[in-house]
Each structure stands twice: as structure tokens, then as C-alpha cells.
Amino acid sequence: MASDSVFSQSDITRTIKRMAHEIVEGNPDSSLLVLLGIPTRGVVLANRLAEHIGDITGEDIPTGVLDVTMYRDDLDQAPLRVPQPTTAPTGGLDDRIVVLVDDVLFSGRTVRSALDALVDLGRPRAVRLAVLVDRGHRELPIRADYVGKNLPSALGERVQVRLLGVDDREAVEVIR
């Protein structure tokens, strides 16, 4: 399989900082923000975004993990997934602005699963979506509020995000 690197480590860092600024601009009362990462790389991204938002606002932005494994509609078709613990920040999600964070937005099915999982945790004031890469090909009417990069791709291609803390390097690659 051939792959092309479309984002380097410095591109990823710069993009996450830009997205943090966009989230702050779209949510002037940052004390209401909660970032929930969708495992695996969405958790790393949520923590990095929260750190940058904290640098901008001077506030600690709560983060958590939202595992969507048991809410997926493709459990019988996909390889076995091991659920990870879901952790909501202290104080919960009620009346908060929750930003769901994931690495790649593709069909929209993971986000649909996340919305179902979120209902079991509380009732946020609003839910937003932040993704590092939007590759198109939606199967559901879902769009991200904050996008690092729109990366049109063919259906037969894969977009792989690699992040330190999970992987041995940082890059976004298109695998053909």
C-alpha cells in the first residue's frame, strides 16, 4: 500500500492551536466548556485542545473520554473492539457545552454513536464536534463545527492520523 503524508507534526500542532482559538471564539463563556475525546486519538486531541484553550482563557478546561463501542451499529461487521472506560469530568455534563473530539470524520456513524452514548451521561446545553480531518463521504447528516483540515479522499483510500502518546510519530497520511 502506498501512502502520502499530508500533515507533519508541526502542521498538526499549528492546526490544534488554530482550532482551540476557534472554539474559544465560538464559546465566549469558556467556563461552560467540556471536551470529550472519542478513543483512541480523539482523547489525545481533546487533551491538547483543552491545554491550548486553557492557555488562551486562563481556565482549566475539563476533559473526559466517551467510548462509543457499545453504541455502534456495525459491531457485527467490524473487527472486535474492546470497550474503554468512559469518564465524565467532575461536575458532569448537564447544562455544559460539550465538544466531542475525534481524529477523522468519515461516514458520521461514530459521531452518531457518540451522541447516543452522550445521552446516557447527562443533558448538555449544546453539543459541538471538533475533528482534525474531515474526509467527506458522509452517510448521515452530520458535520463538524471545528475542522482542522478538509481532506477530500476516495472511498477506497484510508486516512490515518498518528499522534504521539498513541503512535511513535505524528502525521496524517492518506493510504491508497
Q: How far apart are CA 20 and CA 84, in angstroms?
A: 26
Please report, in tens digits, the pLDDT of each residue of the chain (176 residues total): 788 999 999 999 999 999 999 999 999 999 999 999 999 999 999 999 999 999 999 999 999 999 999 987 766 666 666 788 899 999 999 999 999 999 999 999 999 999 999 999 999 999 999 999 999 999 999 999 999 999 999 999 999 999 999 999 999 999 99
Bridge partner residues of 63 (DSSP): 35
Residue tagged 498513541 (cell numbers): 166
Q: Which of 71, 50, 69 is nearest to 115 (CA)?
A: 71
Q: How far apart are CA 61 and CA 48, in angstroms?
A: 11
In one-letter notation, the amino acid at residue 102 is D
Q: How far apart are CA 31 and CA 67, in angstroms?
A: 24
Straight-line distance from the first to the last Cα atom of the chain, in angstroms, rounded to the nearest whole number: 6
pLDDT for 78: 62
Residue tagged 471545528 (cell numbers): 146
Which are the contacts of 148, defined by CB distance < 8 A and separation ≥ 6? 12, 15, 16, 18, 19, 131, 132, 133
Bridge partner residues of 164 (DSSP): 167
Q: How far apart are CA 91 and CA 101, in angstroms?
A: 19
All domains of the chain in start order, with CATH = 3-70+87-175 (3.40.50.2020)
